[in-house]
A and B are shown apart, each in its own frame.
Chain A
Amino acid sequence: MNKLLPFLYAMRIYAPIILLVLALAGAAGAVFAQEEGHTIRGKLQVDSSWNAEVYLSYLPTFDDLHRITNQMIVDRVKMSPDGSFAFSTRFLPEEDGLYRIHLTKKGDPAASIIIGGRDQNFLFLIANRNTDLFVYNEEGVGLFDKVTIEGYLPNHKLQEISQIASYIDSADVSTSNIKRTFIAQAIYEKLRAVADSSKHPLTSLFALYHSNFLSNYVNNKGYYEEYLQRWQAENSSYFQAFREQIPQRQAEKSSSMVWLYAILFFGLGWGGRTAWSMLRNRKTKKVQQLSVQERKVFRMMQEGKSNKEISEACNIGMNTVKSHVSSIYAKLNIKSRKEAMDLPKN
């Protein structure tokens, strides 16, 4: 027992410190765990013509699929010698967004996009703050020609859509022009069907953007009206940009604006006329409030007679005429003879 006493005494002193250290270690562990968080990882087999750096760009609309600026690049990471790379997604918004990862050819700037051919240098992804993805490619073909995405499910659909859309270019090979047109139309039709059946708003819109919708809209209005109806609650920048591009909607919008202006124009005209008429009626009513002599003077004023002429005609003095005129101005709320002449004649 005596031996235990020093130990217990020591524990009384050191226990709070040990507990504090443990608590701090736990908190630090939690922070590190959060720091590690979710990632977009990958392993790419690339030849020596590519830089060992991978870029992640944020695309605010589907019109930016083939657009690049330095400002769109949100992160860059080095690839390890075996082609591995990882982006943390902790800084991404909570909502799903469209992203693009790309590599650059040696000698090219960071913001470079290559479309078509074996050197096509980008891949689209849907991600958010909690996304975990793993991307890898097959060697011997174009950089992202045969790529597999594991993880967040909407990306599987995205891959499927990209694959379908790529058939349009592969239809260029060994087919006649007419046949190629038919193939393209069939592919667009398929993409519209994918857009229709897709449950995820971004994959759905991704399919539609690959389906040449601007040309198709005129002949297929019903489809797009229903489509917009279906996604009317979607208010992301992707859908806003899409809605602005539907030509007929714009035409309808401008036509409804014409109607609005017409109604406004006629409304203002009618309103103005009614207001003017009410004003005149009110003044007419006020004329009835004038005395018999004032009414007589008022009628002569309306005929354009001067005070002197009124004085002579009514056989009254000039001062009396002036007094009547002042009284008429006050009762009718007018300021000049001209206003008196504009009022309806009784």
Chain B
Amino acid sequence: MKKTFGIYVGLLTLMMAFVNPLQAQSTVVDLDRKVSLEATTKTEEFAVTVGEKASRLDIMIQSWVSAGELTIEIYDPAGEKVGNFSVGNQMQTEVSVPVDGKEEQVKGRISKNVKEPAQGRWVVKVIPQKTTGKVEMRSRVHFD
């Protein structure tokens, strides 16, 4: 009887050991956006809201430009610029080149990974100047 009880307690302990990590598994909030630009000049802002107790923020933005100039800027909730890049393609043509024609394109990519990110509104600014191309944004907020 004592032996059976010992086995039972052992199994229960093992179960608890497995159940706890399962409960602690992280929650993830994904946000994907795609923006197409056709000789666009209007600046757009995209916000990533980081809530309380977020353990990590990953932002990845990439862009392909076949004409014009494009600037991407990332701002933290305090308004500080924490990352940026610009890509430009000064093609002397009225006809927009398809964005899949790789040789004519210019590509930019930025990754920002922040542990324990500041709570609030992280902003991605997309600043095109007569830009033809596309922008892809991927953000992920982790909660442990």
Contacts and interface: CB of A to CB of B under 8 A. Distances in A.
Interface of A: 64, 66-71, 107-117, 119, 172-177, 180, 212, 215
Contacts, number: 81
Interface string B101-125: 0111111111111111110000000
Given A69-B90, A172-B113, A108 B107 contact: yes
B41 interface: no
Contacts of A68: 85-88, 106, 108
A68 B71 CA distance: 10
B128 to A, nearest CB: 14
Contact of A113 (B64, B108, B118): B108
Contacts of B44: none
A113 B63 CA distance: 10
B40 interface: no
B117 A177 contact: yes
B51 interface: no
A173 B102 CA distance: 36
A174 B118 CA distance: 13
B80 A215 contact: yes
Given A172-B115, A176-B116, A109 B102 contact: yes
Contact of B116 (A110, A111, A177, A212): A177
Given A109-B102, A172-B115, A69 B87 contact: yes
A116 B106 contact: no
Contacts of A66: 84-86
A68 B86 CA distance: 6
B49 to A, nearest CB: 16
B129 interface: no
B87 A116 contact: no
Contacts of B85: 66-68, 113, 115
Given A69-B106, A111-B106, A116-B111, A175 B80 contact: no
Contact of A69 (B88, B103, B109, B114): B88
Contacts of A67: 85-88
